[in-house]
Structure 1
């Protein structure tokens, strides 16, 4: 069940955990069939992906296998969405992908996790991810539950985003600085100085 910060919590050995496991098995069976297909099987890929998420995807949706998920029924995709090879979507917390989004190879969108408290760690948690219109998530990026990526944004290749909301693509430097300061307590310039200082100390040690 979700709590006040939109975190879904599923405890072990409960009806909810049994339903989650059954859904994982369902998703594994569907993706196993999907991953036997090739780029030329676009219609079959769309049909299987529609079965996976429980809703027909638009004819403009394009996915290149392989693709991996541990659920699928909490994925929602808009029109003209492109998903490149070897992506992983863990959608327990809810995954919304708007129109015109491009997702590069080896991208992981992970809404699921576990509590930090050791005594609760066997539970499973889920926080939503929302990807805005016309976003490009470049190769190898990782987005963790709780993140909203604002429309027209670019997520850099190999980056990891956790609990930072991107807004409107940071269209200008002043807006970027204000949002960055709000989340880190530092200006981008001071952050870079601290980072360089830490790297210098690490190299000397």
Structure 2
């Protein structure tokens, strides 16, 4: 039995993005993107319904400002209490997994596909049946819980970002980021660990009388 192109994606093998089954998935999702982007911001139920049609898993209390651009949609899993600001783009050929309590600024882009470096191979390669085809492969992206991304962050194929990270605005993340790190730049690099010294309790001039929850307290 021939291996389906979607199975090749998940196996990290070269696949044909023009395969009819893959094209059908993308067409449905792209049309749903248009439906979502045509809604008004206060059409909460309609927006939520469309997002659940697009995204493979979408946790409770999630909100996306829009406009959105999901490629497959079904290859993305998002945890609870998620927020993404304007222009959230997910090119989820391979799996994209986002944890709980993540907040993304405007223009965050997550990409998974990788194209051959040689221009001749980008134009065409021989498929298993000997026929020419445009082929690429993809690497999954994993983003942990409690992450905050600034505006214009790009997450590249194969990257894992640990729990509790802050990624600075304009960063291009090309390699893994360990948990509880502040990372920024192009290419993105770890600037430092996030510690209790960063607590708003140490910034009363900004906190204005607000206080963090104590360990064990519930919001």
- The TM-score with structure 1 as length reference comes to 0.75
Match of 1:168 among 175, 179, 183: 179
Aligned to 1:150: 162
The structure 1 segments of at least 4 consecutive aligned residues displaced by more than 2 Å after TM superposition are 6-9, 117-120, 176-179
The reply to whether residue 101 of structure 1 matches residue 111 of structure 2 is no
Residue 97 of structure 2 aligns to a residue in which SS? Answer: strand
Report how many aligned residue pairs link the two structures. Answer: 168
| TM-superposed deviation, 1:112 | 1.6
Match of 1:138 among 150, 155, 165: 150
Match of 1:159 among 144, 167, 171: 171
Contact in 2 for aligned 1:142/1:161 (Cα 8 Å): yes
Mean Cα displacement is larger for which, 134-143 or 43-52? 43-52
Alignment gaps of 5+ in structure 1: 180-205
Match of 2:38 among 36, 39, 42: 36
Spell out, residue by residue over 1:150-188, the C-alpha distance to the aligned partner (whole angstroms, 9 max, x if none): 1111111011011x11111238xxxx5899xxxxxxxxx
CA distance in 1, matches of 2:105, 2:82: 11
CA distance in 2, matches of 1:104, 1:177: 19
Mapping of residues 1-205 of structure 1, within 5 Å: 1=8, 7-11=12-16, 17-55=19-57, 57-121=58-122, 122-162=134-174, 164-170=175-181
Task: From the two aligned structures, give the one with the greater helix fraction.
Answer: 1
CA distance in 1, matches of 2:146, 2:177: 13
Alignment gaps of 5+ in structure 2: 1-7, 123-133, 183-189, 194-219
Residue 77 of structure 2 aligns to a residue in which SS? Answer: strand
Which structure has the greater CA radius of gyration?
A: 2
Spell out, residue by residue over 1:184-203, the C-alpha distance to the aligned partner (whole angstroms, 9 max, x if none): xxxxxxxxxxxxxxxxxxxx
| TM-superposed deviation, 1:40 | 1.1
Contact in 2 for aligned 1:8/1:127 (Cα 8 Å): no
| TM-superposed deviation, 1:52 | 0.8
CA distance in 2, matches of 1:178, 1:156: 12
Spell out, residue by residue over 1:103-149, the C-alpha distance to the aligned partner (whole angstroms, 9 max, x if none): 11111101123121333323122110111000011100100111011
CA distance in 1, matches of 2:166, 2:59: 23
CA distance in 1, matches of 2:54, 2:106: 20
Contact in 1 for aligned 2:9/2:137 (Cα 8 Å): no
